[in-house]
Structures are given as structure tokens and as C-alpha cells.
Structure 1
Amino acid sequence: MIRIAVIIGSTRPGRRAEAVARWVADTSVHHPAVAAGQAAVEVVDIAAYALPLLDEPVPAAFARYANAHTRRWAETITAFDGFVFVTPEYNRSVPAALKNAIDFLYAEWHHKAAGFVGYGVHGGIRAVEQLRQVMAEVKIADVQTQVALAMFTDFTFTDPTDPTDPGTCTPSTRQEATLATMLDEIISWSQALKPLRAPSTAPEPLPA
């Protein structure tokens, strides 16, 4: 079975990322591979791991984790074959909490596949573009299809004038179709990369 983590990429109080991640998870149950038991989708909330600003004394490439919170995070990520990163866009970039969570690890990300669900005024597209560069460095194969949710068309708010209202994630059927295509790609790539994910305890050498 291919296991896919839907990673909530924001820790901000009142964040909308949680609602988006739940939409991804709830919608994914209708995907043929998930319905057939060939793939499973699970929400992973980085806020639940209480990761501080990177505090490991040794670079992640050596896999010598000194802290319990890092080892717990590493165990979680190791268990998955692919990822859906749910990210807002902060000042044309990725949330610091998400980048920090990625930087804590190295080999645990290798030879897996990832897709992106961005949201925001512009659908989070600029944050996703930056995430694609990060994926290359941790040897994650990112798929082409991505979901871009717009605040004005894919969310419903009780009070649109209240900036603290997280709203409800209500994407159109078009967005659901795009998500299904993205999951097709993630599952296929995760399966294709599986032979490369053989367990290894040897750290990769650092550049000279």
C-alpha cells in the first residue's frame, strides 16, 4: 500500500490550512486507488510536533538526531511514500514553519513523490514555486499538477469582513478533478520510486 501524508503547512492560530487539508483527505477517499485499499491518505499536522526553530547540532544529512522532537518527526515522515503539502502564501513565500519542518530531516524525504495544494488570494502559486526548488534538494519528485485554491471562490465565510474567520473550504468540482489527477500522479510516482526507498542507515557525505 502507498501511504500519503497530507501535511498541514501552517501553524498560525486561526489558520485555514487545517480546513484545506481535511478537504483533501475527505475528497481523496473517492479516489479509485484509495477506495480499493491500494493507497491511504492521512493528515499530518506539523503544529502537533512542536518543532522549535532548527536546533539540531549536526546537519540532517548525517542522520544523528539529538532531540526527541526530531526523532519523532523523522519516524512519522519515514512511514510515508508520498506527500501532499498544503501551504498558504506568506509575503510571496512559504510559511517559515513548513520550511523549518522540512529542514529538520534529509534522508527521510528521499525518493518519494509530492504534490501541492496552495491557497490564498493568488492560490498560493508563488509559495508552491519555491517549494518545488526545496523538493529537488531533498530528493523528492514533485508532480506537475497542483491545486490552487482562491480565497474568493473556494472558501465560504460566515463574516467576510472578519480576518479571523477561518471559513469553510468549499472548492468546486473542477478543483476536485484537479486533486484527483494530482493524486494519480503522486501514487504512480510513489510506486515507481519504491525500489529506491530501501532502508539505509548510512548518512550521505557532505560536499567537500
Structure 2
Amino acid sequence: MIRGGLRMILEHQQDMAVVAEAADGLTAIDLARRLRPDVSLVDIRMPGADGLEVTRALAGPGVADPLRVVVVTTFDLDEYVYGAIRGGATGFLLKDAGPALLVEAVRAAHAGDALISPSVTVRLLRSMAVPATPAKGAKPLTDRETDVVRSIARGRTNLEVAAELFISLSTVKSHVSGIQAKLGLRNRVEIAAWAWEHGVVTGPG
């Protein structure tokens, strides 16, 4: 029933098509590896292999050609969100987020951005905060890169970062790429997590 609902929402979009469905995690891994979809939607609790295992298999550290994975679940538990982020997910969405946010999350993942349900973002990332210490082997960020990191950690999109910092969208994208390279991170979700973990951002805003 849930998969049918997700299919209807996505296929209603003119620029989207569902290429496959899977009833269990192992089938999902097999289909995703063979069909190479632009974005994979994965539930947390599935038979065979759970959503975190699927995410690690498709997008995790060490995967040669990772896929973009958005985790969609009813379970608003911090360990699931944290596990999904560490497993390489480019999005984490609660099933009650609504059709519009689902479509936005898919589009964000396809564009290389990331989206996490607003209800869990700041709470989760703030809970991961520790006193600031340099990441091992990381190159220091410039002041402007640090500004971009703070904005990302507070859930801003690239367009919002550009408007907030009075810079162009292409400049934001260039900064994001540079930040990922310096810190050894793969996506915006990991940048946000790193910011909270290392005390770069510590409060709302």
C-alpha cells in the first residue's frame, strides 16, 4: 500500500518515473545495482536487509560508484537518522512529511543536494554536537566556507545560502565542492553533521 502510494505521487510528476519496486532489502539492492536509478527510496524496516544495510550497500563508504539514496520511514528515531547519514543517504524523510516534500527530496537528491525532514534536522544534528576540534587530516576552511557550512547545517538550500550570504548560486556550489574535498565528505548531509559534531554551529538561526 505504501509503495503504491509513493509510486502514484512520483509518477504524477512529469519529470519522474518509477523503474522498479522491491518488497525486501536484498531485492532492492539487486535491482538498484542492475538498473542504476537516479534516486532510490528506501524504508528503514524491510525483510531480508533493513534500510540501513541497503543504504550502506548502495551509497556507503567504499562503494565504487554510489547511488543516491533517500530514506523514507515512519520511525523518527535518532539512531536511524544518524545511521542513514553515516551510511551515505542523501535524504531522510518521514512518511507523514507529505507528497510535496517527498517530491522535493527526490529532486534534491537528483541535483546532488540533500533534504532531511525539518522535524528531525536541527534536533538530530544539535544532539551530535561536541566541542570544536579539527577533523583528522582536514584542511582548514576559509571564513566564507565556514559561513556556507553554518548555513547548510541549519538546513538552507543552495539558493537560500546564496541569498543569505549575498553570493551567486555558482559560487555556493563551488564552495560546497571545496568544503567536501577539504573535509573528505561526500554530500551536504555529511557537511551538516560535521558542522554540529565539531561545534561550527551550536544554536538555531
TM-score of the aligned structures, taking structure 1 as reference length: 0.40
Structure with greater proportional helix content: 2
More strand by share: 1
Asked which structure has the greater RCO (Cα within 8 Å, sep 6+), the reply is 1
